[in-house]
Structure 1
Amino acid sequence: MKSESPQGMLLGDVEVIRIVEWQGAFAPARALVPESGADVWKANEEWLAPDHWEPESDQAVMALQTWVLRSGGRTVLVDTGVGNGRERPGSPQFHHRQGDFLGLLARAGIQPEDVDIVVNTHLHADHVGWNTIGVEGEWVPAFPNAQYLIPAADDFHFGSDNAYAKGRQEDDRLVYEDSVAPVHRAGQSVVWEGAHRIDARLTLEPAPGHTPGSCVLRLASGTDRAVFVGDLLHSPVQVLDPSCNSCFCLDARGAAASRRRILERAAAERELVVPAHFGGSGAVEVRREGEGFALTPSRW
């Protein structure tokens, strides 16, 4: 899967930079979104391919990416990818991965010490991996001056006290131990619940379902609006039918309810919708269409 150069735009007074580690075919389309029918993909092939779907292989196309926001003189990272050298035996795509994430940040003019805030929209492996780096056999925060904003419900759910309710999956235990617990030990974590205002332009809000603590980041600056939705959306077909969950959603009913609520507001307030993993331009504009929604790729 290919790496890409940083891409940027300005939303009000906030600079948004897209850091793409890789983008390509990820999984069979209906394995990723099991409730979607083959007819939906085929009927929308003209715009789903090639950025979101490979019709020949029937593979969903996704990106592993981080969004960098420069707001009010501070640098904010939204999610941190998979990380390097991680033990992820249950996720072959992420197991012992070696990427150039810090190099991509550097080429965008961002050094680790420049980062002020790290937002983890939830605590799955591909959203927290570059929270930490290995130094002399220990995992330590990758961004020494940053506050790491961690949803309380996910910290409890995936942490050792809850033990994943009925026993954590092995990969979840490993993720927490190498990418979350070291941040707590370093005193750099802020565990939040309810809502969390980063500054006058950026606010975190709960959107549970994909995980118990899944959240969205709202951007409001001038007349521009955007909502960074994490894994509420893995594919644009979920915009067409918000009842369709990904295979990774832990609470199907809750995820669908959060997805519809976020899309309804995005359509009403003309918010740019920015998922964690969309290929192509990486973001979409949505509008109401009957009982559902339609979308247009953003003008990135």
Structure 2
Amino acid sequence: MENAQSMVLGDVEIFRVVEWQGTLMPGPELLPGTTDRTWRENADWLAPEHWEPGTGLVVGAIQTWVLRSGGRTILVDTGVGNGRERPSRALFHRRQGDFLDRLTRAGVHPHEVDVVVNTHVHGDHVGWNTHDVDGEWTPTFPHAQYLIPAADDAYYGPAGGYAGGRRPDDRLLYEDSIAPIHRAGLAVRWDDSYRIDDNLILESAPGHTPGSSVLHLTSGADRAIFVGDLVHSPMQLLDPSRSSCLCVDPRQAAATRRRVLERAADQRQLVIPAHFAGPGAVEIRRAGTDFRLGEWGRAAHRPAR
């Protein structure tokens, strides 16, 4: 996969920088209620970019979407980061990668970033909020506002007992990736909705986490929606009732997913999930009570500057 690919919607340039891409977990494990047969029956369009037939593992990516809008540089999610203690997730634990070099090669320098959007507070969406400077977690993007959903900030932070204290990772990720942003005075907590500029507005979309959010892009005649982890696999686009094993509230996540996807289909929004490998965006159309896939966003991609 190329380090960065870009497209233009209205007045907004969009490209992504990939931190990691590969296999994740078996399909039925990711989407409870599905079976190996379910995935194999859809292999003709899932493989090889979203599912690996030989192993039955889902294929995904950890990536940051970069938006140039209104003269500003905006990052949507910041991946895993380096050197994190994540004992519950082997893929994230003490990872060392070249994400910042990739970001720089794509033309994005940390001190030039104006806004960081954390769609929700999970370890693969907030990791590069900070980096290690002489043993201290320090904001990676020192001149940026970090937009953090207030509900997630409360739930994963000390006020919520670090998500109830069920996993050590939740305390660790808050302390190394969120708390330093607050101490630096760069955090902006928001509820319900938050307008970034004339083209971009955040909207609460709870279920995956209490504060999960989506980002709407409206510029000229173009529409897109960055749905974060509302969708992990294209299988969920066809049947929104399927919530992932990673959702805090699967029932609420399913209801939110259907609401968001219905609007995306009606308004012809390009759907841009956080973790799709291959083409990172897709159009959807109504198909009775569910949906069908339209055009993938591959044709609109071009090399980034």
Residue 111 (structure 2) aligned to one of 110, 113, 121 = 113
Structure 1 CA distance, aligned partners of 2:123 and 2:2?
21
Q: What amino acid sits opposite 1:259 in the alignment? A: R
Tell me the SS of whatever aligns to 1:161.
helix
- The reply to whether residue 32 of structure 1 matches residue 2 of structure 2 is no
Q: CA deviation at 1:38?
A: 2.9
Instruction: Tell me which of 4, 13, 16 is aligned to 1:15.
Output: 13
Determine the structure 2 residue equivalent to 1:75: 73
Counterpart residue number, 2:83: 85
- 2:138 maps to what in 1? 140
Alignment partners' CA distance in 1, 2:243 and 2:251: 9
* Distance in 2 separating the partners of 1:41 and 1:207: 27
- Once residues 85 and 132 of structure 1 are traced to their aligned partners in structure 2, the CA distance between those partners, rounded to angstroms, is 11
161-170 vs 222-231, greater mean Cα deviation: 161-170
Question: 3-state SS of the aligned residue for 1:153?
Answer: helix
Task: For 1:233, give the aligned amino acid.
Answer: V
Q: Distance in 1 between matches of 2:163 and 2:121?
A: 15
Name 2:200's counterpart in structure 1: 202
CA separation in 2, counterparts of 1:225 and 1:284? 12
- Alpha-carbon distance in 1 for matches of 2:19, 2:165: 32
Q: Determine the structure 1 residue equivalent to 2:249.
A: 251
Once the two structures are TM-superposed, the CA of residue 290 in structure 1 deviates from its matched residue by 1.3
Contact (CA 8 Å) 2:51, 2:57: kept in 1 or not? yes
| Deviation of the 1:20 alpha carbon | 1.0
> Contact 1:36/1:237 (CA < 8 Å) preserved in 2?
no
Distance in 2 of aligned mates of 1:8 and 1:48: 23
Contact 1:233–1:275 under 8 Å retained in 2: yes
Aligned AA (2:231): L
Rounded to whole Å, the distance in 2 between the matches of 1:164 and 1:256 is 24
Q: Secondary structure at the match of 1:174?
A: helix
Alignment of 1:1-300 (within 5 A): 4-164=2-162, 166-296=164-294, 297-298=296-297, 299=299, 300=301
* Equivalent pairs, count: 298
Asked whether the equivalents of residues 220 and 226 of structure 1 are also in contact (C-alpha less than 8 Å), the reply is yes
- Letter of the 1:67 counterpart: W
C-alpha displacement of 1:24: 1.4
Stretches of 4+ aligned residues off by more than 3 angstroms: none
Deviations along 1:265-292, one digit per CA (max 9) or x if unpaired, are 1100110000000011111110001110
Q: 5+ residue gaps in structure 2?
A: none
Distance 1:66 1:189, change over 3 A: same
What do the CA deviations read for 1:86-124 (whole angstroms, capped 9, x no partner)? 000000000010111111111111100110000000000
Partner SS for 2:164: coil
